[in-house]
Amino acid sequence: LPAVYSLDGLLVFGLLLVCTCAYLRKVPRLKAWLLSEKRGVWGVFYKAAVIGTRLHVAVAVSCILMAFYVLVVK
């Protein structure tokens, strides 16, 4: 739980959320069930999926850099 309060833990959580939502957007049943709402709490998942699909190159590079940071630097 203490990792959530650090900046690098928050960045890892954000990247995992964006990557997971972008992946779930490709599954038709899950897209209709989980990512159909554009407002409220469920809208966060929709917005994360949109970020993951539109900025897929930047998200992929960020994931690689964060993995390097977590495995080597930290």
What is the pTM assigned to this prediction? 0.81
pLDDT of residue 4: 58
Mean pLDDT by 10 residues, the chain (74 residues): 73 92 86 80 88 92 92 88
Domain locations in the chain as residue ranges: 4-73
| Residue 72: per-residue pLDDT | 93
pLDDT of residue 42: 84
Distance CA 68, CA 53 (A): 23
Residue with token string 């409220």: 40
At residue 2, the pLDDT reads 62
- Give the pLDDT score at 51: 92
